[in-house]
Amino acid sequence: MTRRKAAFAITCLLLTAALCLLVARSVHLPGGLGEPQYIRELASRTGALNLVASIYLDGRLYDTIFELIVFSVAVLGVRFYLSERRPSHRPAPIPESHVVRASAEALFPFLLLLGIYLAAYGHLSPGGGFAGGTVAASGLMLCSIAIGADAVARRIHRPSLERLEWALPLTIISLAIVPVLLGRPPLAALFPPRGGGGIFSSGSILLYNLLIGIKVFIGSWVVVHGFIEHRGEI
Amino acid sequence: MSYSPSGIDAAIALLGIGILVLALRRDLILKLLGLGLINSSTILFLVSIRFTPDAAIPILPVRDAGIVADPLPQAVVLSAIVINFAILALALVFVMILVERYHTTDSERIESEVAAEQGGEG
């Protein structure tokens, strides 16, 4: 049984390696051509200084929307399967010292602010909605390590959190569809880009970044809180 | 604009190690780690097919008029990271459910216990 499995694995490995080597060696990658042409066109079309943001929120916007749907479905799955089975015996949380608790509570607003900044300036500097949401959620996780996840969860109104969690992807999807209904090209910005490098310079990329940031913030918190609720505190 | 052959070779090697761990290890958590290795190899591959030495970061305005790095693989890597997080969270929940029911992370023992349960029912 085990030997057959090993033979199967090694065959799989050899086939994959052969395929990869074949692809990597046969595809001719251009060298020394300078930068691709689309970079400058993209920058002038979207008005965003961060070219990565202008790709994943303009040129490949539908890809990002599907990525967000996969994230939402995973969060839904985690919540569904964890809420079905309640923990039988949950280890008691270990109380942290006053210094850790006070400093975590003091740090949380700044981490939240940093997350909002990263999401809001994602089209001008490194960052974006995903990074900003993760930073803000890590601040919440710091609080839940220090003062306990239940204490943090009591401060959050759960029904409105759940409503917001599903309203945000729907808003993002409808924002992507509205330009089509208005007769514009499907991937064009809903609000026309102004250019110039200000915070409102890139039209709807700012809006998408903020909405994705809030969505990732809520989703990460739901996943982490689900695990803590089920398996106990760290 | 060029690419990094050593990066591509390292990505293929990582992919091989990940597949071996996924197929040969019996522990479910180690299988998830193998899946993480495969994901890392994908990211390394995407980055190294468009690796340009001494390129500027793809944020305008570019100083000293150098070559800008291709932003497309970076945007794709972002998707890969988010999807990996989603898959890992969901897979960990399934492992937790299996561990609660069968009290082991050994996939072969879980398989034999499932077979015994089905034989008992039939």
Tens-digit pLDDT profile for residues A12-70: 777 877 777 777 666 665 544 456 677 777 777 777 888 888 888 887 888 898 999 99
Query: Would you call A188 helix, strand, or coil by DSSP?
Result: coil
pLDDT of residue A24: 67
Q: First CA to last CA across chain A, in angstroms?
A: 39
Q: Is the pLDDT of residue A218 over 90?
A: yes
Check CB contact of B17 with chain A, cutoff 8 Å.
Answer: no
pLDDT of residue A1: 56
A129-155 CB burial, b ≥16 within 10 A, e <16 = bbbbbbbbbbbbbbbbbbbbbeebeee
Which parts of chain B register pLDDT below 50?
none
Indicate if the pLDDT at residue A100 is higher than 60.
yes
Looking at chain B, which residue has its C-alpha nearest residue A69?
B83
Closest-CA residue of A relative to B58 is A51
pLDDT at A84 over 70: yes
pLDDT tens digit string along A142-161?
Answer: 998 888 888 888 888 888 88
ipTM of the complex: 0.87
- Which of B82, B107, B109 should we substitute to test contact with A (largest number of A Cβ atoms within 10 Å)? B82
pTM for the model stands at 0.86
* Total of domains in chain B: 1
B72 inside 8 A of chain A by CB = yes
Closest residue by Cα to residue B75 from A34, A51, A195, A91: A51
Using a CB-CB cut-off of 8 Å, the residues of chain B touching A223 are 89
Q: What pLDDT shows up at residue A134? A: 93
Mean pLDDT, residues A114-141 taken together:
91
Smallest CA–CA distance, residue B101 to chain A, in Å, is: 11
Host domain of residue B89:
5-121
* pLDDT single digits (tens) A220-234: 999 988 888 887 665
Contact A24 B89 (CB under 8 A): no
Residues A160-217 pLDDT 10s:
888 898 899 899 888 888 877 887 766 666 677 776 777 777 778 888 899 999 999 9
Contact B8 A24 (CB under 8 A): yes
- Identify the pLDDT of residue B40: 93
What share of chain A has pLDDT > 70, as a percent? Answer: 85
How far is residue A210's CA from residue A168's CA, in Å, rounded to a whole number? Answer: 10
Using the Cβ of B116 and the Cβ atoms of chain A, whether some distance falls under 8 Å is answered with: no
Q: CATH number of the domain at B30, please.
A: 1.10.287.3510
Higher pLDDT, A138 or A37: A138
Cβ–Cβ gap B96/A33 under 8 Å: no
